[in-house]
Amino acid sequence: MRQLADIPHPEAKITLFSWNGKYLIKLERGPFEQTYKVSEMDVASEAEVRALLDEEFIAAAVQRFAQMHHDLQAAFTRHDIY
């Protein structure tokens, strides 16, 4: 796996990788991470992958991080784990 770029953003750490004919877009926030795989056949360049990372995409990912946090906390609560 080859790291192509760190893409600065205030809401999440974003890293772009190339691996096995795919671009991997990795977003991290606290203890959570999301990875999206985009086939190199579906985009013409790294620039097109970066274009996917618009504010609407990032906002949805940030909401998903909040939902992930909520889901984990709910599981802790269901099992009386703190």
**Domains identified in the chain, total number:** 1
Split at pLDDT 50, 70, 90, the class of 80 is very high
pLDDT computed for residue 82 by the predictor = 78
Query: What digits encode the pLDDT tens for the residues 5-60?
Result: 999 999 999 999 999 999 999 999 999 999 999 999 999 999 999 999 999 999 99
**Tokens 């995409």 -> residue:** 57
- Residues ≥6 apart with Cβ < 8 Å to 24: 1, 16, 17, 18, 35, 36, 37, 38
- Mean pLDDT, range 53-80, rounded to an integer: 97
pLDDT over 90 at 76, yes or no: yes
The domain containing residue 44 runs over which residues?
Answer: 2-78
